[in-house]
Copies of this chain bind each other. A is one copy, B any other.
């Protein structure tokens, strides 16, 4: 059986796992709960349209903060970059090993930025263009239109920026695939 056939077969299996992927039984109960504090407007209506990573995302997106939290934006206009947390609400949560379609090899969930993870919280660093009442214009998001918002934080270069950090498996992949 060719690799392609094998992948097709796995994708058609009833549990939706690709070859080499591994799911675990989820815990019986949750431990904490979240409020959606707003949502994100982006140009991407379907997952297939989303940029593969924020580096490729130069579209201006709009973060809409629910009116209840408006006063919490005070002082944010002095900040150049934000850490935005949002909820990837369409992702399954039980995979511990994944074989993303665009990588040849399987990888542990915590070694990936995939939306599929026990707690599907995305962390994105964005550039703040401006604030108009409860609407923030930003560049650097790659999520679906309507994605629920969890948090906004100021980005501190002193603690958040590590220019020489590396992800070994990703660098090796790039060396091989060019």
Interface residues of A (CB under 8 A from B): 22, 24-27, 30-37, 53-55, 65, 68-76, 78-81, 83, 85, 87, 89, 93, 96-97, 106-113, 117-119, 121, 123-125, 127, 140, 148, 150-170, 172
In the complex, what's the smallest C-beta–C-beta distance from A29 to chain B, in angstroms? 9
A27 neighbours in B (Cβ, 8 Å):
35, 68
- How many copies the complex holds: the figure is 2
**Is A170 touching B156 in the complex (CB atoms < 8 A)?**
yes
**Is B167 touching A111 in the complex (CB atoms < 8 A)?**
no
A81 neighbours in B (Cβ, 8 Å):
162, 165
**Is A32 touching B87 in the complex (CB atoms < 8 A)?**
yes
Q: Known contacts being A22-B71, A108-B74, A110-B73, is A157 close to B150, with CB within 8 Å? A: no
Q: Known contacts being A27-B68, A107-B74, A118-B151, is A113 close to B156, with CB within 8 Å? A: yes
In the complex, what's the smallest C-beta–C-beta distance from A146 to chain B, in angstroms? 13
**For the complex, what is the distance from the CA of A112 to the CA of B108, rounded to whole Å?**
33
